[in-house]
Structure formats: structure tokens, C-alpha cells
Amino acid sequence: MPELPEVETVRRGLVPVMENAVIAQADVNRPDLRWPFPERMSERLTRARVTSLRRRSKYILADLSTDETLLIHLGMSGRMLISGDPLGQFLNDHPAPEKHDHVVFHMDNGARVTFNDPRRFGAMDLLETATANEHPLLASIGPEPLGNDFHEDYLVERLNGRKTPVKSALLDQKIVAGLGNIYVCEALFRAKISPKRHVNKLSAARIRTLVPIIREVLTEAISAGGSSLKDFRQADGELGYFQYSFDVYGREAEACRTPDCNGRIARITQSGRSSFYCPQCQR
């Protein structure tokens, strides 16, 4: 499932063709994805202007001139693909419709944005903009890791006394928004903290080191266009390439990249997810 860097990469790709443009026509080609689409979705989107495109955790939020906000979740295989961009950034002619083109936005500037999702684990909903942050999917999400509310004192306070593994704590969306399995593995490697280490066994000083490292990993991943594993594509159809910078994720049995470390990357299962780490230098 796309994590924060992938969703942010898609959002940034959509901004030039959707923000401040009007949805001339919205084609909704099925009644549902992960859950049913809202009533009259096509009608409510058609002729609405996209006043801003923002991201909250792993959700893209398109604020509309109708005082509604379109919530988009990419799910496992969802893609937002742009064609016919009048700004000349994508150079793609409109392709022939495909089987899994579930929602298509025809923008008044000549661009077309297609939500294609073969597995149909993605989702869309329409929320009242004024109360969007109170939606059940958004209300309990923690601060954005690249925002000012996520800082060393905050993380120390939220993790204080917890007896869960640090990996599980950082995946908790109520503590920090948007972090997923890949980037928590990579951040813990850079911090030299084992994913098995329980939070109550970590000093405040070690917890503090996680904040700048998490920001560093996410910033690098966004700059690289995210990580393309299986289905992810950027809005222009191109692959992300941060996967070529992975230190641990997916590198089971390969040599650790830490200088003078003779360890090899191990994989364990935590809460049904694979954790990759170096047993030698992550403690």
C-alpha cells in the first residue's frame, strides 16, 4: 500500500493540472470501490472547481468550490494517471479507456485524470469541507511527520511508558500520520534501533533521534518519487526510484551497509508484517 512519500508524490503531480481548474465532467464507471461511492458523485463533482489539493496521512484531499472535499485513497493498486496535460509536463495523449478506469476527471484545461484500480481496494468519498477533519477516517490521525507538531518532545511524551515494540508504535497512525512499513524499517536502521526493542526500554535521548531521521528518510523518498513496489506509479506514469536506496527493506540475507558491520539483514514478522533489520548494529 502506498505510504506517505508515494501519496505526496501523486499529490504534487496532480497539482499543476487539477488545482484551480474546473472538473468539466466526472465519469463514475461503477457504484463502488472499497466501499460505495457517495450519492450523485458524478453530478456533485461536475463543474466544481478544485480550490486546493492537500494530503492528510495517506489520503489526498481535493477541496472544491462547492464547499465539499473529495477524499481519495489509493488502496493497494490505485493510480491517478494524467493525460493530455496542456502545460506540456506529461506529453501523454489520452489513452483508450481501460477495464479498471473507475473514475475519470475531464478537466476544463484539457487534462484528463484517471483513477485506475485493478484490485479495487481504493476509495473515494465526499465530505463537507468545514468538518472534513472530523470524518472518522481523519479525526484520530496524529501529526504529520514533516510538520511542526511532530517534534522530539511530542514523540517522547507519546511513547512514554509504552510496552509495545517501537516498530508497532511508529506504525500507529494515532501517534504519527502516514508512516508505513517501508519507511519505519528504514528509519529504525538509520537510528540503529531494533524493531523488536520495546519502547519502555528506550531512553528519551534515543527516541529523540528518531524525529530528524524520520523526516530525513521521508524527504529523500519524496525527492526520489517514492518507492515503486508492484503497482505504484507517479501521476505521469513513471516509476519512483527510492527502492534503489533501501538499506534494509526487502534485503533479507544481504550484507549490512553499515561500515565495519559484518551482519546480514534479517526478516522477522511483527503483527503480520515483515520487519527488516540488521541484528548486529540495531539494538
Closest CA to 245 of 224, 273, 219: 224
Out of 55, 58, 112, 233, the active site residue is 58
As a whole number of angstroms, the distance between CA 257 and CA 260 comes to 9
Cell numbers given for 19: 488545482
2 is known as an active-site residue: yes
Rounded-to-10 torsion of CA 80, 82, 87, 91: 140
The size of the chain, in residues, is 283
CA distances from 51 to 10, 186, 221 (A): 17, 35, 27
134 is known as an active-site residue: no
Closest CA to 145 of 254, 55, 60: 55
DSSP 125-186: EEEEGGGGGGSTTTTT----TTSTT--HHHHHHHHTT--SBHHHHHH-TTTSSS--HHHHHH
Let me know: does 91 contact 104? Beta carbons within 8 Å: no
Out of 49, 197, 273, 279, the active site residue is 273
DSSP 19-47: TT-BEEEEEE-SSBSSSBPPTTHHHHHTT
273 is known as an active-site residue: yes
36 is known as an active-site residue: no
Let me know: does 62 contact 70? Beta carbons within 8 Å: yes
As a whole number of angstroms, the distance between CA 171 and CA 169 comes to 5
By annotation, the residues acting in catalysis are 2-3, 58, 273
